[in-house]
């Protein structure tokens, strides 16, 4: 009897729980473009609104999910596909997934988009279009300085290619906007697409 009542309560809760549409928002751009900063600012705002949000930070993924990979084109592609798989899985369960990852190659990003399309999961591509000169001034991780000193090679956008999206869902110029303004632009895009 008690089990039947508990099942009825569970079913009632499931029916009354608000349904939320998940989505993946992929923020691509050069190192130090502001991708991760925007993602965390937006995540904080969305959580404050009661949304389920996850940030798949590129550095954390490299450490915990792709630690054996290098930075060859093939390894970068594998890394992006792994992140795309996890993002789609979370988004398909109603989570807004923010993915601040360089993902320098257009075909890798397109493969992630197609995975989402096949599964019927919303996917938005945001190009954080900060000029390389501004990124090198910010140099959050000291990568540009190391590259200039000859201590590092294969830096995306300097001596390794970065294929900027030709037709992203949104292009943000962080050198013209504050972090909060940039986060608000992404939030507006989600709202306009019916994903909030």
> What pLDDT sits at residue 140?
86
The pTM score is 0.88
Tell which residue, 85, 43, 35, has the closest CA to residue 65: 85
The per-residue pLDDT for 125 is: 98
> Looking at beta carbons, which pairs linking 186-190 to residues 24 or more positions away fall under 8 Å?
186/25, 186/27, 186/38, 186/42, 186/126, 187/42, 187/45, 187/46, 189/25, 189/124, 189/126, 190/23, 190/25, 190/96, 190/124
Could you list the residues known to form a binding site, using ranges.
Answer: 29-36
Exposed e or buried b for every residue in 169-188, given b needs 16+ CB within 10 A?
Answer: bbebbbeeeeeeebbbbbbe
Q: Show Cβ contacts of residue 75 under 8 Å, excluding neighbours closer than 6 positions.
A: 66, 69
Annotated binding site for ATP: 29-36
Please answer whether residues 79 and 62 qualify as being in contact, where contact means their C-beta atoms are separated by less than 8 angstroms.
yes
Instruction: Give 23's Cβ-side CA count (13 Å radius).
Output: 23
Beta pairing class for 123-128 and 96-100: unpaired
Q: What is the pLDDT of residue 18?
A: 47
* pLDDT, position 139: 85
pLDDT at 65: 87
In tens digits, the chain (196 residues) has pLDDT values of 444 444 444 454 444 444 578 999 999 999 999 999 999 999 999 999 999 999 999 889 988 988 889 889 999 999 999 999 999 999 999 999 999 999 999 999 999 999 999 999 999 999 999 999 999 999 888 899 888 888 988 889 888 899 999 999 999 999 999 999 999 999 999 999 999 9
The alpha carbons of the chain give a radius of gyration, in whole angstroms, of 19
């Amino acid at each position: 009897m008690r089990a039947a009542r508990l099942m009825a309560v569970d079913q009632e809760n499931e029916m009354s729980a608000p349904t939320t549409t998940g989505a993946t928002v992929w923020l691509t751009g050069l190192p130090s473009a502001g991708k991760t900063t925007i993602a965390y600012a937006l995540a904080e705002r969305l959580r404050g609104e009661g949304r389920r949000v996850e940030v798949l930070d590129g550095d954390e993924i490299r450490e915990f999910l792709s630690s054996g990979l290098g930075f060859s084109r093939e390894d970068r592609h594998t890394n992006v596909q792994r992140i795309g798989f996890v993002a789609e899985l979370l988004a398909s369960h109603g989570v807004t997934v923010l993915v601040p990852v360089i993902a320098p190659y257009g075909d890798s990003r397109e493969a992630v988009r197609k995975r989402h399309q096949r599964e019927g999961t919303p996917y938005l591509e945001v190009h954080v279009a900060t000029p390389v000169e501004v990124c090198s001034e910010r140099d959050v991780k000291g990568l540009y300085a190391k590259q200039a000193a000859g201590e590092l090679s294969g830096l995306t956008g300097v001596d390794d290619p970065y294929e900027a999206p030709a037709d992203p869902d949104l292009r943000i110029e962080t050198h013209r906007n504050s972090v909060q303004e940039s986060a608000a632009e992404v939030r507006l895009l989600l709202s306009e697409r019916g994903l909030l």
